[in-house]
Copies of this chain bind each other. A is one copy, B any other.
């Protein structure tokens, strides 16, 4: 009942129950060597005080598994949800714990990575600034989908798009596509990727600029598609598979033949791309491999066999072109 709300500790419970802290510990942890009666009394006191053991006090004594922090932009995005799940699975064999964090939905997005860095043994970020995090000294930090230029800050898993993009352009040229457009998500998270896509598609136009348009993730698809068809585009490359699948549905609603009237291509390689009709051509990244490479890099950093930054802390996972029926 002190003015400030102090944390209820094992000592408070011990006093309340009239026993020692050790006895409280026995009661809370279902250990032997305590009478049923005493246990009851202790548990009652704990409940009254709303006592909950501190995981830090406990962890300090017991040690514990490695905990890896993973911060991604936005878990509403299926790609990130699958990636998070894949990282958890990749860590499971080591017995590691994974703290998954969503930057977008947090009260202070810019702080998420920094805060988490102080609570974990290693930090992996995707599309999140992991630079200028206070007190990262000695802790493995890996940038997922990062670039070689970021190697000064920590490890980098690079997702290499160039080759697959070139293959896509070649494939589309062969298929007779001549008027491509890149459809980006409004909000601009993916600006870089979309511009790179547009640049890579120049072989289709004989070198002319490829336009980039924007659309909401879930709305206005029908309208923009009507517009694009009106402009006689014959190929749409969507920012990601989720958008592409939605566009596909809208095209169906418009009675537009895919790939006859317009070719459609996605990016990511999500499973959903192969479950729709027609199956979707996509630039595919193997999320499983990305997760495994990430974890293996962190393993190396933790055991000291890989430096925390620099060229040796660099892994590359290439996109692959999956040609399917939609193109």
Contact = CB atoms under 8 A, between A and B. Distances in A.
Interface stretch (A95-103, A150-158, A223-231, A261-269): A95-103
A135 interface: yes
B55 A118 contact: yes
Interface string A43-59: 10011001111111111
A327 B82 CA distance: 29
Given A75-B88, A275-B245, A55 B29 contact: no
Interface residues of A, number: 71
Nearest to A58: B118
A249 interface: yes
Interface in A18-65: 27-30, 43, 46-47, 50-60, 62-65
A138 interface: yes
Given A85-B81, A85-B84, A119-B97, A46 B105 contact: no
Copies in the complex: 2
Contacts of A84: 81, 84-85, 88, 100
Interface string A82-124: 1011101100110101111110011100000001101111000
B105 A89 contact: yes
B249 A67 contact: no
B50 A304 contact: yes
B29 A135 contact: yes
A272 interface: yes
Contacts of A119: 55, 58-59, 64-65, 67, 97
A299 B211 CA distance: 49
Contacts of A215: none
A212 B53 CA distance: 46
A7 to B, nearest CB: 8
Interface of A: 7, 27-30, 43, 46-47, 50-60, 62-65, 67, 75-76, 78, 80-82, 84-86, 88-89, 92-93, 95, 97-102, 105-107, 115-116, 118-121, 134-135, 137-139, 245-246, 249, 252, 271-272, 275-277, 302-304, 308
